[in-house]
Structure 1
Amino acid sequence: MNRFILEKEVQQFIKANRERSPTEIALKKSPFPNVSSAELASQIDGWQRSVKKLPTWAYSEGIYYPDKINLEQCSSEHTALIKQTLISKGSRVIDLTGGFSVDSCYLAQEAHEVIHCELNEKLSEIVAYNATILRVPNLICKATDGIKFLEESDDNSFDYIYVDPSRRINQGKVFLLEDCEPNIVAHQDLFFRKSKYVISKLSPLLDISTALSSLKHVKFVYVISLDNDCKELLFIQERGYLGETKILAIRLFADQLQSFEFTYEEERATLSRFSLPKHYLFDPDVAINKAGAFKSIGKAFGLGKIHQHAHLYTSDTLYPEFPGRIFEIKQVLPYSVLKKNNPFSQANIAIRNFPEKVDVIRKKHKIKDGGKTYLFFTTDVNNQLIVIECNRIF
């Protein structure tokens, strides 16, 4: 950590140039003897990456930004807010894999104390400094291995263990839970000796059922999306819990939050109702689909499903609270009609259980992207290829 970056003149320069290209800054001679052009560019790049993802950091004077990989891997403030609701006020928390501390800082707003463990000494120093700027005095930074620190702590030292296992090992990505670092499957007994609760942030690519077969005492699984992009899975384990796991799909969009709760037992016991397209079309958010609520969501809103594998729903009744996009259907065409006489020159195209890809459809039928019209290319309950023309209303 180069503390010359924190000098008033350097900070003024960064602020005055933060809208410029970091590459442009890096290629010019630095006006400061103790701060390189690359360092100036890195700070500007850090600010630009944080504006939408971490606005509290971006608009706090004097924040020191780490390497871009640390910003890429950290949580957004939107998802950190969800984690903040999962702990009790006044609790003691340890973050085993601290990183840039976004989650730790939000947990600290509820906790009595959060121990932030980070192997990277430089990053740990940056986090400790930023905690003073952000006025988070109960964030205690330890430049150490979180597992080792936990092993040396007394049993029941913490109320919550928070861990975000690294999915990058030896420059490559891993996808199995047991291959991540730390291996939370192997350390479960250790975790439950030291804490009653374990909160694990896992990859959205992870298969939930597979993880449930590896982890003990899972009380909740949170599937969190932001603007229809699945961001992370949270597994909440409670020592001794033997009940059924509750699945919560959390949709964050336009500063709003929608949630849908179900269990896999309920999902298995539910029968879908199938229907040809009616007046409204309902397209579930990615969190609903990732969670696997394919039948439960239809039952909850009394919707008909267009096809078993399409995951599109329909009704003559409008349900504005549905967690996903909602469309008014204008017409339904057999795909064969489009082959002979295409009436659409421009449209937003989506495919659901359809044999052709979007780019192939656009090229074949000369349909430009954009406009107010939405076309869903899918298969109906009679196994016929159809095109649903609609306008989005929510």
Structure 2
Amino acid sequence: MELNVKNEEYWKFIKDHEQDNPAQLVLKQKQFPSLPLKELALQIAARQKAKTKLPEWYSEKVWFPPKLSLEQCSSEATAKYKANLISGSSFADLTGGFGIDTYYLSQNFAKRHYVEQQQNLCDLAENNFQELGADISVHNISSEQFLSSISDRLDWIYLDPARRGDRNQKVFLWEDCSPNLVELLPLIFEKAQNILVKAAPMQDISRAIAELESKVKSVYIIEWQGEVKELLYILNKEAVEYPEIHTVQLSDEGKPIFSFNGDKLKEEESSIKIGIPQQFLYEPSPVMMKAGLFKQLAQKFQLSKLHPNTHLFTCQEIKKDFPGRVFKIENQIPVQKKELKKYLPEMKANLASRNFPMPIAQLKKKLGLKDGGEHYLFATTMKGEEKALLICEKVK
């Protein structure tokens, strides 16, 4: 570990300068000759990034890895939500990393294990767990070594395979991640009753399930602050052809604001009405777009779809609990600059394209449209394959 994390002088400096520009602090080494300013500045930079994402850890004497990538680390909200999905007597996190998930997931277990190959991360985790009052056993070994070393079966195993390739590129297939979940799965099932796996939001869910040979019992798609942040898979040995798909929107406290469940079989068997635009337009949230449960969503809220491949819905009433944005349709016009100018003389709107054969940038240029204003403009394809612009105002 590069810093003595127990040094109170270091902590005082961090607290005194936590709002300062880290890059400027490094230049003041002569003013603080006894302090490792470069390392302390890195801590301050990491804490500034973590203030919103990890508020509980930010408020404690927690040390961050010098080159922590907060994009890879779970947020406090998503980690707290995951902790409500699993419980039992014994638990192990095979990909401990910074320890965010380990800390929250382990709170529902009597025996807790953190497993990590990198020594510096193990040292930091051990210190941070102590500061947070968490009794978690730290193991500085590989996930394979840990699994081979334990004799008792665990109730739950969690892992978040690293999603970076040899050239630091992002990867999404299980076989390209580290550890390789497909290869490791037989050994994990020997040692655990249940498995929870975190994956990147860009992963193809259907393909991921197929690669795991139908061992997926359920899938959770997690949205926080308007973005899909995580995919979660719960696995067991019993084969399931159609896993239940849970979509969840989280508050900053990790509580579900909205949830919706379905599966691909119900989606295939469900019907949906295709109709013309009515008074209100409904745009599904990112988590519902990722799930693809459009027919089940339409049935639940009694909505029509504008086109089989246009994921926009419509009806005459406002549905208060709809997971997404709601707009009032003011006009429907052809995709023509001359027509648009009649309704938007300032030629300013927030343009979105849904099932439309022209890139946004090209369409803006064609229409002579500027970004901004109170109006929302949807370029889309209608029931009869005609292209149209829907001029809308957002319903607050």
| Alignment TM-score, normalising by the size of structure 1 | 0.93
Contact in 2 for aligned 1:30/1:36 (Cα 8 Å): no
Distance 1:242 1:350, change over 3 A: closer
Q: Does 1:393 align with 2:390?
A: no
Q: Which consecutive segments of 4 or more residues in structure 1 shift more than 4 A? A: 30-34, 253-256, 337-340
How far residue 188 of structure 1 moved from its aligned partner, in angstroms, is 1.4
SS at match of 1:236: strand
How far residue 159 of structure 1 moved from its aligned partner, in angstroms, is 0.5
Q: Deviations over 1:18-49 (max 9, x none)?
A: 22222222333165455422212111111111
2:231 maps to amino acid = L
Matched with 2:218 is 220
Matched with 2:86 is 87
How far residue 197 of structure 1 moved from its aligned partner, in angstroms, is 0.5
Distance 1:263 1:340, change over 3 A: closer
Matched with 1:103 is 101
SS at match of 1:187: helix
Contact in 1 for aligned 2:273/2:305 (Cα 8 Å): yes
2:272 maps to amino acid = S
Mean Cα displacement is larger for which, 16-25 or 248-257? Answer: 248-257
Matched with 2:113 is 115
- Name which of 142, 146, 151 aligns with 1:149: 146
Q: Distance in 1 between matches of 2:163 and 2:79?
A: 19
Contact in 1 for aligned 2:244/2:262 (Cα 8 Å): yes
> Following superposition of structure 1 onto structure 2, how do residues 1-394 of structure 1 map, counting pairs within 5 Å?
1-4=1-4, 6-29=6-29, 31-33=31-33, 35-60=35-60, 62-88=61-87, 90-137=88-135, 139-154=136-151, 156=153, 158-170=154-166, 171-215=168-212, 216-242=214-240, 244-252=242-250, 257-336=257-336, 338=338, 341=341, 343-344=343-344, 345-394=347-396
2:124 maps to amino acid = I
Q: Deviations over 1:211-238 (max 9, x none)?
A: 1111142110011112231111101012
Q: Deviations over 1:287-311 (max 9, x none)?
A: 1111121222112211100111110
Distance 1:383 1:253, change over 3 A: farther
SS at match of 1:370: coil
| Alignment TM-score, normalising by the size of structure 2 | 0.92
Distance 1:330 1:2, change over 3 A: same
Mean Cα displacement is larger for which, 27-36 or 176-185? Answer: 27-36
2:203 maps to amino acid = L
Q: Deviations over 1:139-181 (max 9, x none)?
A: 221111122101221252x101100011113233322211111
Q: Distance in 2 between matches of 1:74 and 1:18?
A: 21
Contact in 2 for aligned 1:30/1:37 (Cα 8 Å): no
- Matched residue pairs, number? 390
1:329 maps to amino acid = I
- The unaligned stretches of length 5 or more in structure 1 are none
Q: Distance in 2 between matches of 1:28 and 1:375?
A: 51
Contact in 1 for aligned 2:77/2:252 (Cα 8 Å): no
1:121 maps to amino acid = Q
Distance 1:371 1:140, change over 3 A: farther
Identity %: 35
Contact in 2 for aligned 1:4/1:35 (Cα 8 Å): no
SS at match of 1:371: coil
Contact in 2 for aligned 1:4/1:34 (Cα 8 Å): no
SS at match of 1:190: helix
2:279 maps to amino acid = H
How far residue 113 of structure 1 moved from its aligned partner, in angstroms, is 2.5
